[in-house]
Chains A and B, each alone.
Chain A
Amino acid sequence: MKRPEPVQVIKYRRDAALAALVGAVPYIQFLGIQFDRRGDELTAILPYDAKLIGNPSLPALHGGVTASFLEVTGLIGLAWASLWDDLETGRIDPNAVTAGALPPLPKTIDFTVDYLRAGLPRDCYARARVNRSGRRYASVQVEAWQDNRDRPFALGSVHCLMPEITQPT
């Protein structure tokens, strides 16, 4: 039986692939969104920054920040789920991914956001759940919260068009 790879090798490969995926998108860097990975599960983190405020008198986060955070979490969650499978099954070379040869991102078809309560001037967290990911279409739900996991402040629903898969010959 083949000896399993050392855990740090596996972790390094997965973290490097995630960093390449997230680091390639300028808007994610502009907002300052980070991703915490536990196995294949991602939690998006949006650290508070003064530029994210929409209503200075409350103060509250801009609705566009909340929408962007949900959409980014949904798209990266979906892309990561595909990339994870490709890496684990060896369909994609991890070295190519870290060198920047990333598969194209899914495209948003439509996006719905439900604002449940005002976003406070604090850090935000979000997780995506891929409810359906077919060859062409995918449906993803996103939940974002701040201080309490049980009190989400916004919910998102994203439908995506999956990138064309180039079949290996």
Chain B
Amino acid sequence: MTDNLTIARQFIQALPFSRALGMQLTDLGPGTATIRMPWDAHLVGDPATGVLHGGAISALMDTASGASVMSHPAAPVSTATLDLRIDYMRPASPGQTITARAECHHVTRSVAFVRVVAVDDDADRPVAVGTGAFTLDRPKGAAE
């Protein structure tokens, strides 16, 4: 798994926008992925408070969700977001790292379903939760 984590980390680092947002993959399991994004002044949505923009948190949650699909035991060769809905429960605390943990909880032949939660230092009170549907491209000739 350590090797997979290293490969996945490098994969996330190779995505220009994920790198621009400072995303780091910290954990990868079968159908789960955790990615963190440190607070940065560029990502602020409300300059009066320093609260991160919802769009930056959406980007993090989308990336974690896609990574959870790719790490699913169905071993997809690629995935893309079909739709994603995010509920923002509270503003992220300024200065704190956001961590998104995504779980690909169900897959069909061509669709993956994901749940994702984003937290800051106060992990008991989520900043945002999301649900998404993703395309799933299985390797050619794979058994279903």
Q: Which residues of A contact B (CB under 8 A)?
A: 24-31, 50-56, 61-65, 67-69, 71-72, 104-105, 107-115, 118
Contacts of A30 in B (CB 8 A): 42-43
CB proximity of A167 to chain B, nearest CB, Å: 21
Q: Are B21 and A26 in contact (CB under 8 A)?
A: no
Nearest opposing residue in chain B for A102, CB measure: B48
Nearest opposing residue in chain B for A100, CB measure: B47
Q: Are B83 and A110 in contact (CB under 8 A)?
A: no
Nearest opposing residue in chain A for B85, CB measure: A112
CB pairs A–B below 8 angstroms (27 shown) = A25-B46, A25-B47, A26-B43, A26-B44, A27-B52, A29-B42, A50-B16, A54-B15, A62-B63, A63-B66, A64-B18, A64-B21, A64-B58, A64-B59, A65-B17, A67-B58, A67-B59, A105-B46, A107-B88, A108-B88, A110-B86, A111-B58, A111-B85, A112-B86, A113-B84, A115-B80, A115-B82
Contacts of A29 in B (CB 8 A): 42
Tally the A-B contacts, defined by beta carbons under 8 Å: 124
CB proximity of B100 to chain A, nearest CB, Å: 11
Q: Are A109 and B16 in contact (CB under 8 A)?
A: no
In the complex, A114 Cα to B17 Cα: how many Å? 19
Nearest opposing residue in chain B for A158, CB measure: B54
Q: Is the interface of A mostly helix, strand, loop or mixed?
A: mixed
Contacts of A108 in B (CB 8 A): 54, 88
Q: Which residues of B contact A (CB under 8 A)?
A: 14-21, 41-48, 52-56, 58-60, 62-63, 66, 80-88, 91
CB proximity of B77 to chain A, nearest CB, Å: 11
Instruction: Decide yes or no: A24 and B62 within 8 Å by CB, A64-B21, A115-B83 being known contacts.
Output: no
CB proximity of B39 to chain A, nearest CB, Å: 12
Q: A28-B53, A51-B20 are in contact. List 15 more A-B contacts (CB 8 A).
A: A26-B42, A27-B43, A30-B43, A52-B16, A54-B18, A62-B17, A62-B18, A62-B59, A62-B62, A64-B21, A67-B58, A68-B53, A111-B54, A113-B84, A115-B80
Q: Are A63 and B15 in contact (CB under 8 A)?
A: no
In the complex, A104 Cα to B45 Cα: how many Å? 11
In the complex, A67 Cα to B130 Cα: how many Å? 13
In the complex, A138 Cα to B84 Cα: how many Å? 20
Q: Are B88 and A111 in contact (CB under 8 A)?
A: yes
Q: Are B82 and A27 in contact (CB under 8 A)?
A: no
Contacts of B81 in A (CB 8 A): 63, 113, 115
Query: Per a CB cutoff under 8 Å, which of B55, B56, B88 touches A109?
Result: B88
